[in-house]
Every structure is written in C-alpha cells, then in structure tokens.
Chains A and B, each alone.
Chain A
Amino acid sequence: MSTYTLLGALEIGLIFSLVALGVYISFRLLRFPDLTVDGSFPLGGAVAATLIASGSDPFTATIAATVAGACAGFITGWLNVRLKIMDLLASILMMIALYSINLRIMGKPNVPLIAEPTVFNLLQPEMLVDYVFRPLLLVFVVLAVKLLLDGFFATQTGLAIRATGSNARMARAQGVNTGLAVLAGMALSNALVGLAGALFAQTQGGADISMGVGTIVIGLAAVIVGESLLPSRKLYLATLAVILGAIVYRFFIALALNSDFIGLQAQDLNLVTALLVTVALVLPRLRQRNAGKKGG
C-alpha cells in the first residue's frame, strides 16, 4: 500500500472513530441499540454540505451539523422514553424519517463540495499537503473529543448517565431522572455521529444521500474490534480502544480492497463488515465454550 492509501485509511478511520465513540455511548454505556446513526451520519453531512455550498462558514456549518445530530438522537430517545416505543424500533423509525429529511435538506440526492472552503483547507498551513494535514487535524479533533468525553463521564451528570445504562432501577432510587439521562446520552451520541458526517462530507468532496448506509455496522465493528484489541472496563481505556478499533478496522478494509489477489471491490465493503462483526461477536463465545470444556 502506498503512503497515500495509508493516510487515506487513517483519515477515514479517524472520522469513523467519532461514529464509534457515539455507538459506544449508545450501545455500551446506555445499552440502547441505536440505529439512528445510519440517518444522523448523512444528516451531519447534508447539513454541513448544504450550508457550505450556500456560502456559510465551514466551522458554523460543522457545528450546525453536530447540533442536528444531537436533535436526531434526542428525538429517538424521546420516542422511547416518552412514547414508550421499543428502543430498537424507535431508532429505526428515526432512521427512515431522516432519509426523507436529508433529501429535503439537500434538495437533491447529493451536494458536491469541490471548490468550496472546508474546515480542512481553511486551516491547512502552506507547508503541508492536504492528504497529510487532514489526518493530522483529525488526530487533534478525535483526541480532544476523547478527552472531553472522558472528563464528562467522570462528572456527576456523566456518572448519572452511565448509571442509567448500567442499572436504571438503582439510578432512579438515587434520584437520577433516568428518562432525561437517556435523552442526554442519545443526543450526545448522535451529536458525535453528526460531527463525523460533517467532516466526512468535507473530506470526501460532498454529501450523498446514501453515505449513511451501513454506518451503524461500521461503528459497531470498530467498537468490537477495539474491545478485543484492548479489553478494559476503565472508561478512558475503553474510549481509546474504540478509536483504535475504528482505525485498525479501516486499515483492514484498505488492505482488503488494495490486495488484487483477494479481488474485493468497494461494493463488497458492507459484506466484509458484516462478516467481520459476525466473527467478532461469535469468537468470544467460542473461546468461552472451549475454556468451559477444558475446565469441565
């Protein structure tokens, strides 16, 4: 693989590590199986690309995309908490609703960003080429997000959200408004996904209505790969693991796509991901069963 491909894989891996952090918050911390992600990722892209294309400042556009993601997550949470719709179903409803909403926002199936400014080319110093600078900037963004998350989940409010996911009955008995905690956690999770979508659109030359397909599976794959690379229940290690998982996962995909002898093409990506997640889900159980056999 060339340096160019490697840096490209790192770049996308870093962007998807934001998705993975979001998925970690919903699936692991809140134990809320949330498929909204498949809609909030393109939502972030759509909002950012549309705003930038209409002349907005890319930073404002990126923040707007993050807020839009938060709103999507909030609504999914609300469907579940207030309307008592089953969590998975609530997120599926939100996901398909977002398909229409995203089309409305963009007004067409895709919004290209070619000559428009992005957060990347605005910040890029003279001496660095774009494909080196983008992953570099993303490393800082992802690290900052990670540290902020670690900090937040160590605060009283963050602890209340974690307790809600771990043992809601106990959390309520300690005076935690668990409904509100779910709303906040879901908003935070999808805000990160919206941010990822906005950054993705700005690195990939625009937003596309189908850019969200399979986001959730990629996010989950990253979480699972990360957890098997670096198993730890400590939060700061777990968030690090999730980020590493997203990057490693992306490298594998790049490797698979670039090895002629395997003969994989871009359209096989989702199949590869699904297989990878299946293996990652089954492996620990197989290992456990074997351990059990040896013991017994």
Chain B
Amino acid sequence: MLKAQDLRLTFNPGTPIETQALRGLSLEIPSGQFVTVIGSNGAGKSTFLNAVSGEQRVDSGSIEIDGIDMTRQPVWVRARHVARVFQDPLAGTCEDLTIEENMALAKMRGQRRGFSFAVKPALREAFREQIATLGLGLENRLSDRIGLLSGGQRQAVSLLMAALQPSRLLLLDEHTAALDPRTADFVIQLTARIVAEHKLTTMMVTHSMRQALDVGERTVMLHQGRVVLDVSGKEREGMDVHHLLEMFEKVRGEALDDDALLLG
C-alpha cells in the first residue's frame, strides 16, 4: 500500500528556472492495485515516481509504504519495498555484468548481502526456468553480458528481475517508450502477467491512452504536479480512449484558464 500526502517539490527554487514539479500531490493505492498514470510532458509523473522511490527528496509532504514512513529514507533502503523498471532499457541493468549476475543482484534486492557466491548452481537453474518463460531464447545465454542484449530483451529481463524478490510496490516509468511497437506490446503483456502472478501493487506511467485503459484497474491523470483525474471501477470500464482524451483536453483547458486568471 502506498500513501502519498500533499507532496511538494520545487526544482531550482528562487532562480529564474524555478519549476514546481509537485504541487500538493496526494494519492493512495491499496495493496494489490494496478494503477496506470497519464499526463502531458512535464506533468510531474517521473518526479512523482522518483519521489516515491527516493531518488528525489520532496520539500514537504509524506510518503508511506505499507504503513512505514519512507519520506526521508534513501533509495537503497526503500529498495527493500520498492522495485523499479526504468524508461531507458540501459538504466535498469548493469551492462558489464552477465544476465545471471544481474538477476542475482535483483534477487537480493533489499536483503543483506553476504560473502556467499552470488550465482550458485541451484539459483542458476531457477533463473534459467524463469527466463525461459519470456520465450526469448535467453535461457542458454545466462552467462552472456547483458550489454549484448537488445533494448527490448533487456527491458523484459528488467521486469523479470523486478519480480524476483517480493516487493510492496512496483514502479514502471514509461518502460515501453524506447521499444518498437511489437516489443512494446510484448513487454506490456508480460507486465500484466507478472503483476497478476505476484499480485503486485503497481504504478505504471504511460503516454498511451490505450495502454492506460487496457491494463490495470485504475487510471490517474497528473497535471501540473497534482492528481486531476482518478477513475476506476464501472466508470473506467465504460471509458474509451476518446473519452479519456476529452477529459485530458478539458483538464488542460481548465488549468490554462486558471493560469490566465492568475496572470490576469
């Protein structure tokens, strides 16, 4: 369960390039829910995810994960509860390490790392079985450097890695944006499968309205650092992309009006 309350974050405060990225964002996600997040460029989606994972400290507000206050914890401490897949396929894996070493690293996410060998035969077998489920033929390449894989393959492995160690929260920030349409589709299917299999509480940022409605059970729209739309259940089921686009435009229009008022 995630509970973000009144998050505020300003980049470069007091300078001409000051940006209020989060302006009182609040969002609660109950355990096991799959939420898709949309919003225009610069709406604050990535900043929000970074705030939750700890990569960005918020100026004020609080972040609770499963009832534990995480507002001031560094990334590596939060990693015990939070798994991530980045937008950039190169960002989520270590290109110098082999596939199995990357998986071993993820297998120990948030655990105490000791002095036993990271990749033991039994573990390697488990990895082989898991990676075979991707259907990408990677099961015979476990000792290849992961840098040799394509972006799509690396993203698929990243997803698998995110699920190797149980987590309270899975954060996906446009994790299919860098992939070609077919691979993106494959990774989305895989996401839905892994999330369902492990009953993960998930937040997925996407620019595709279609994706936002197709996967998950709730859709949230951010605008100017706040939640401006939050649909789930019946209301969401009846929605199509057209609807969502309309609301998107409406919200943006309103926001513009607000600004116009303020400026006027």
Contact = CB atoms under 8 A, between A and B. Distances in A.
A155 B106 CA distance: 14
Interface stretch (A79-87, A138-146, A172-180, A248-256): A172-180
Contacts of B86: 169-170, 173
A interface, size bucket: 20 to 34
A166 B108 CA distance: 17
Nearest to A31: B96
A156 interface: yes
A147 to B, nearest CB: 14
Interface string B57-92: 000000000000000001111011001101000011
B75 A173 contact: yes
A166 B97 contact: yes
Contact of A155 (B94, B97, B115, B145): B115
Query: Of B97, B111, B113, which is in contact with the most chain A CB atoms at under 10 Å from its CB?
Result: B113
B105 A159 contact: yes
Contact of B115 (A156, A163, A166): A156
Nearest to A156: B113
A160 interface: yes
Interface stretch (B116-124, B130-138, B175-183, B214-222): B116-124
Contacts of B106: 174
Contact of B76 (A151, A156, A177, A233): A177
A204 interface: no
Nearest to A28: B96
Nearest to B75: A172
A160 B79 CA distance: 14
Given A154-B118, A173-B79, A174-B109, A167 B95 contact: yes
A134 interface: no
B118 A158 contact: yes
Contacts of B145: 233
Given A159-B101, A162-B94, A172 B113 contact: no
Contacts of A171: 76, 94, 105
Given A155-B116, A158-B118, A178-B76, A173 B94 contact: no
A56 interface: no
A175 B94 contact: no
A116 B93 CA distance: 53
Given A156-B104, A174-B109, A166 B96 contact: yes
Given A170-B93, A173-B84, A233-B145, A159 B104 contact: yes
A159 B119 CA distance: 10
Contacts of A159: 97, 101, 104-105, 113, 118
A157 B114 contact: yes
Given A167-B91, A170-B93, A175 B79 contact: yes
A169 B79 CA distance: 12
A162 B96 contact: yes
B94 A167 contact: yes
Interface of A: 151-152, 154-160, 162-163, 165-167, 169-178, 233
30 contacts: A154-B117, A154-B118, A155-B115, A155-B116, A156-B104, A156-B116, A157-B115, A159-B101, A159-B105, A159-B113, A160-B105, A162-B96, A166-B95, A166-B97, A167-B93, A169-B55, A169-B86, A169-B91, A170-B86, A170-B94, A171-B105, A172-B76, A172-B79, A173-B53, A173-B83, A174-B105, A175-B76, A175-B79, A176-B76, A178-B76
